[in-house]
């Protein structure tokens, strides 16, 4: 067999493998969307869920998912940004930093159920917060930190050393060089990583079953006082998210229209995660174009 024929066979095999993977993913997405989109309506997105009768919605669960996501990102983004800057720009190359990076890699592959059990022991039991939004947000922060820290560090390391040298040559301090030159240049990669991590957090279920709980109490959206139990902003109330709701109604099997609600909720979840990914690509491309044109 000559080299050209072998190259054609290898290239065809790779295209076939890629095609099979794309076909599997497309089929999965199409199956979920075709079954779920017909059940999506304004009432479905805003009404409360029902347990023993048909016609329930996912309003509280959808709100809880976004509220938990916002709190989680408020906790995790500043910490991961600081950790990534330190590891990339200030940490010396020795066994300690190598150990820290190894620990980050191990934690980034940690099963979410383990993070949920850890959050249950620390935040729910030891801290006494019970099943609550704050417990779920802190558990998701622990789940999110390794990936975000690694994303920030890799984005900063991708910036050429010549830009750092140029900043120092102009008389800027090391901190000014990092904050005014390196971080803005790495912003497209950092922002893309943050949005992708947000999509990952939005679809998380296992870690929240043991921390945020499996109940969605009635919310009074006219009352935005975080001190009231019925207030949607109360961080110490239990909060069943959309992903947990899908798991719960399929596990219990007591809802008459469980299949329809599950299909609609799954479609909403998939569409939201897809929007997160598309938004990450779009913003990353826009910021990159602005940075290169400037």
Domain 40-293 has CATH 1.10.3720.10: yes
Look at residue 77 and tell me whether its pLDDT is greater than 80.
yes
* The pair of three-digit structure tokens given for residue 7, joined into one six-digit string: 């190259």
Contact 87, 100 (CB under 8 A): yes
The residue written with tokens 């990914």 in the block is 277
Distance, in Å, from the CA atom of 32 to the CA atom of 21, rounded to the nearest integer, reads 17
Contact 72, 144 (CB under 8 A): yes
pLDDT band at 185 (very low <50, low <70, confident <90, very high): confident
Output the pLDDT for position 231. Answer: 76
Contact 81, 152 (CB under 8 A): yes
Output the pLDDT for position 60. Answer: 87
Distance, in Å, from the CA atom of 294 to the CA atom of 290, rounded to the nearest integer, reads 6
Distance, in Å, from the CA atom of 145 to the CA atom of 133, rounded to the nearest integer, reads 18
Contact 178, 285 (CB under 8 A): no
Q: For the chain, what are the domain ranges?
A: 40-293
Distance, in Å, from the CA atom of 192 to the CA atom of 202, rounded to the nearest integer, reads 15
pTM of the model: 0.86
Q: HSE (CB half, 13 Å, CA atoms) of 68?
A: 39
pLDDT digits 0-9 by tens, 277-289: 888 778 777 776 7
């Amino acid at each position: 067999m000559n080299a050209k024929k072998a190259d054609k066979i290898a290239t065809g095999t790779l295209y076939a493998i890629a095609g099979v993977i794309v076909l599997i993913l497309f089929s999965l997405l199409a199956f979920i969307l075709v079954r779920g989109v017909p059940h999506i309506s304004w009432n479905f997105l805003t009404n409360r869920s029902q347990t023993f009768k048909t016609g329930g919605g996912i309003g509280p669960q959808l709100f809880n998912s976004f509220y938990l996501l916002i709190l989680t990102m408020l906790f995790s983004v500043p910490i991961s940004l600081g950790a990534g800057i330190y590891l990339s720009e200030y940490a010396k190359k020795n066994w300690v930093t190598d150990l820290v990076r190894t620990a980050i890699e191990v934690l980034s592959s940690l099963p979410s159920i383990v993070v949920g059990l850890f959050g249950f022991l620390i935040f729910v039991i030891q801290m006494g917060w019970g099943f609550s939004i704050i417990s779920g947000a802190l558990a998701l922060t622990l789940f999110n930190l390794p990936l975000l820290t690694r994303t920030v560090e890799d984005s900063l390391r991708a910036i050429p050393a010549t830009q750092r040298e140029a900043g120092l040559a102009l008389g800027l301090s090391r901190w000014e060089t990092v904050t005014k030159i390196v971080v803005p240049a790495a912003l497209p990669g950092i922002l893309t990583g943050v949005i992708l991590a947000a999509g990952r957090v939005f679809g998380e279920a296992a870690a929240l079953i043991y921390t945020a709980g499996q109940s969605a109490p009635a919310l009074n959206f006219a009352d935005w006082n975080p001190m009231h139990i019925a207030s949607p902003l109360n961080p110490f109330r239990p909060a069943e998210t959309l992903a947990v709701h899908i798991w719960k109604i399929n596990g219990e099997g007591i809802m008459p229209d469980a299949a329809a609600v599950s299909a609609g909720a799954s479609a909403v979840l998939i569409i939201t995660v897809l929007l997160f990914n598309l938004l990450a690509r779009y913003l990353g491309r826009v910021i990159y174009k602005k940075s290169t044109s400037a």
